[in-house]
Amino acid sequence: MWEKVKSFASDFFVTGDPLIYGADVSIVLAAISIVFVMTYFKKWGWLWREWLTSVDHKKIGIMYILASFLMLFRGGVDALLMRAQLVVPEMEFLTPDHYNQIFTTHGVIMILFMAMPFMFGLFNVIVPLQIGARDVAFPFLNALSFWLFFSGAMLFNLSFVIGGSPDAGWLAYPPYSGLMHNPGPGQDFYIWGIQISGIGSLMTGINFIVTILKMRAPGMKLMKMPMFPWSVLSSCIAIIFSFPILTATLALLFLDRYAGAHFFTLDGGGNPMMYINLIWMWGHPEVYIIVLPAFGIFSEIVSTFAKKKLFGYKSMVYAMMIISILSFLVWAHHFFTMGSGADVNAFFALTTMLIAIPTGAKVFNWLFTMFRGKITFETPMLWTIGFIPCFVTGGMTGVLLSVAPADFQFHNSYFLVAHFHHVIIGGVVFGYFAGLYYWWPKLFGFKLHERIGKWAFWLWNIGFYLCFMPQYALGLMGMTRRVATYGWDKGWWEMNLVSTIGAGLMGIAFVVQVWQIVYSVKHLRKDRTGDPWNGRTLEWSIPSPAPLYNFATLPQVTAQDEWWEEKLLRDNGQSSSVPPALEPIHMPKNSGIPFVMSMFWFAAGFGFVFQWLWLIIAGLVGVAVCMLVHSFNYDNDYYISVDEIKRTEAAIREVPN
């Protein structure tokens, strides 16, 4: 009996690597600490009532952002481990197998479990406030979206210590991801972690399209909307058309592995290139899905800190919607070398060049907005200005990659790695950092410490350029992606050393950001104005943090920058708007079903990974029961009384600045 237990444990848990043992100890200690703190301070009831069962879009947004920071830490550690392995030739810090696992998990985590939840967190916190809504269109679905994302992310990350991580690359190309070459559970963790979280992402896309189109404040026509909701709308349109492709593609791959199908195996009549086409039909729109909201964030910040109306508002709107459409017509530029022929390569080269036009136009809009503006250089504006040269560099190298003959030289080299990170870090991560700094006071009622924030900004930027600029040269010198080591004769070690130093500086910058948050909480200086940046849009017209119902009375919108125009009228003594009388506010009740349902999805996914039929059935039955219970739950809303609204407003507006 004991031998059977030992045999099962040795197969079930990842063993043999000191780094994994260290992670095991860290996970156990962290779990014990959390349980101890929650029990000692008697916070389990509070956690359940206020967070685990919440359908408040602001709390869901905060949970998304917190999860994103945890994933940024995990993915960042993966990056540092890879750079440590490549710092000098013939390094033996990581085994080749472990290196393959780390670059696979790094890519998946950073794109799907860091950038996506960061984006969804900002969607949740800001979009309803900017369009003058009290909630999202489907609060229950919104909570379910988050918990499905979270359970999928946890399932994927569990592979680190149980079963083994996937190692076929972040897009899992066959035949590497097929059962013959990848028989362990790692690839199934990949499939089901992404599948479960992807369902949540699709729900979020649907939810925010309906929210933006149907729940804008009275008078807010589409062309009076702030730019961030426009960017969210364009991103969500791409989500609802691209994520079903991902779901179907991974389902086919799972059938290949689980049921003996041969969709992607040549000797069974399938074709692995079909997988690569399908995955990039999702994969390239995904790049624009995560970068479009960053464009909206930069538009809001530039206008606020230049104290000017955004230049070329309509052209920005058209540019983002065009990008959303064109993003589906460029996928084959990822494999110009596959032998499709000159006609196919020419078509996708042209569409790739075309999509650069609306992308580049926005940069000029931001520059013209800043032109002759009264610019102040607070932290959000620094991140915005830092983004521009970084993203322009990434865009220019992207145009180089779009030239099919040149791509035969650049393909699969570190030139491509540098380009991709210029766009994703310089565009997406810098954008979301800018948004987080900008809207932090609206989330928590206080600003983050400016001086520490500027230290973090400079460390991030210096580290970024040190890390990735040498990689362009490495690519041109012949260094390909995914190599776990190299020889002294290659002449690559100097550039790799500089690149690793830059990665270390970015790691230090992340630690400084955590210190900034802790320091700001400890030395809290509460914002009593609700408008610490002298903002232009509706979220700054209400107290910080926003009350549960957001707006005591729905705003009446007459202009594009409604709050800015209202302040100008007040300053000139011309404001004659009289707020309407208070009325009871209809709000959704909290529900524990989304959390419970996601746990059943987690159980079903875990069962599929290890092919435990009993757990698959139990998990899916649990999901069905949760859906049934929710279908017959008619007590899912309530009204906030006028008296309670008055008490809340009096309390949050009590102390002037």
Nearest 10 degrees: Cα torsion 381, 387, 388, 390? 150
User: What is the rounded CA–CA span in Å between residue 560 and residue 575?
Assistant: 17
pLDDT digit string, tens, across residues 109-129: 999 999 999 999 999 999 999
pLDDT value at position 269?
Answer: 87
User: What is the rounded CA–CA span in Å between residue 606 and residue 192?
Assistant: 8
pLDDT range class, residue 651, cuts 50, 70, 90 = confident
Element (H, E) at 193: helix 186-214
| Closest C-alpha among 121, 144, 140, 14 to residue 70 | 121
Residue 628 exposed, middle or buried by CB count within 10 Å (0-12, 13-18, 19+): exposed
pLDDT digit string, tens, across residues 375-421: 999 999 999 999 999 999 999 999 899 999 999 999 999 999 999 99
Cβ proximity of 212 and 237 under 8 Å: no
Residue 551 has phi, psi (to 5 degrees) of: -120, 125
pLDDT digit string, tens, across residues 27-50: 899 899 999 999 999 999 999 999
Nearest 10 degrees: Cα torsion 135, 139, 145, 148? 140
Element (H, E) at 588: strand 585-588
On the question of a cis peptide bond just before residue 175, with omega within 30 degrees of 0, the verdict is: yes
User: What is the rounded CA–CA span in Å between residue 171 and residue 575?
Assistant: 56
pLDDT digit string, tens, across residues 162-196: 999 999 999 999 999 999 889 989 999 999 999 99
Handedness of CA 51, 39, 20, 517 (dihedral sign): positive
pLDDT value at position 576?
Answer: 57
pLDDT range class, residue 527, cuts 50, 70, 90 = confident
pLDDT digit string, tens, across residues 234-253: 999 999 999 999 999 999 99
User: What is the rounded CA–CA span in Å between residue 451 and residue 184?
Assistant: 49
User: What is the rounded CA–CA span in Å between residue 609 and residue 254?
Assistant: 10
Contacts of 571 (CB under 8 A, 6+ apart): none
pLDDT value at position 18?
Answer: 84
pLDDT value at position 337?
Answer: 86
pLDDT value at position 580?
Answer: 79
pLDDT digit string, tens, across residues 274-299: 999 999 999 999 999 999 999 999 99
User: What is the rounded CA–CA span in Å between residue 279 and residue 275?
Assistant: 6
Look up residue 51 and give its two tokens.
């967070």
pLDDT value at position 268?
Answer: 85
pLDDT value at position 357?
Answer: 92
Half-sphere exposure of 317 (CA within 13 A, CB side): 12
Please work out, in degrees rounded to the nearest 5, the angle formed at the alpha carbon of residue 257 by the alpha carbons of 602 and 108: 55
* pLDDT above 80 (res 653): no
Cβ proximity of 236 and 116 under 8 Å: no
Bridge partners of residue 640, in order along the sequence: 585
Helix, strand or coil, per DSSP, at residue 416:
helix
User: Quick one: average pLDDT of 74-96?
Assistant: 94
Look up residue 546 and give its two tokens.
């926003």
Tell me the C-alpha to C-alpha distance, in Å, between residue 148 and each of 153, 193, 416, 594: 8, 10, 32, 8
User: What is the rounded CA–CA span in Å between residue 499 and residue 2?
Assistant: 49
For residue 354, the Cα-to-chain-centroid distance in whole angstroms is 26
For residue 607, the Cα-to-chain-centroid distance in whole angstroms is 27
User: What is the rounded CA–CA span in Å between residue 653 and residue 543?
Assistant: 7
User: Quick one: average pLDDT of 60-82?
Assistant: 96
pLDDT value at position 380?
Answer: 97
User: What is the rounded CA–CA span in Å between residue 327 and residue 283?
Assistant: 10
Cβ proximity of 233 and 295 under 8 Å: no
* pLDDT above 70 (res 619): yes
User: What is the rounded CA–CA span in Å between residue 521 and residue 452?
Assistant: 13
* pLDDT above 60 (res 640): yes
* pLDDT above 90 (res 9): no
User: Quick one: average pLDDT of 587-596?
Assistant: 96
* pLDDT above 60 (res 656): no
Tell me the C-alpha to C-alpha distance, in Å, between residue 609 and each of 163, 170, 651: 9, 18, 51
pLDDT range class, residue 577, cuts 50, 70, 90 = low
User: What is the rounded CA–CA span in Å between residue 462 and residue 468?
Assistant: 10
Helix, strand or coil, per DSSP, at residue 175:
coil
Half-sphere exposure of 477 (CA within 13 A, CB side): 15
Find the range with the poorest average confidence among 21-25, 155-159, 217-221, 622-626.
21-25
User: Quick one: average pLDDT of 90-116?
Assistant: 94
The per-residue pLDDT of the chain, averaged, comes to 93
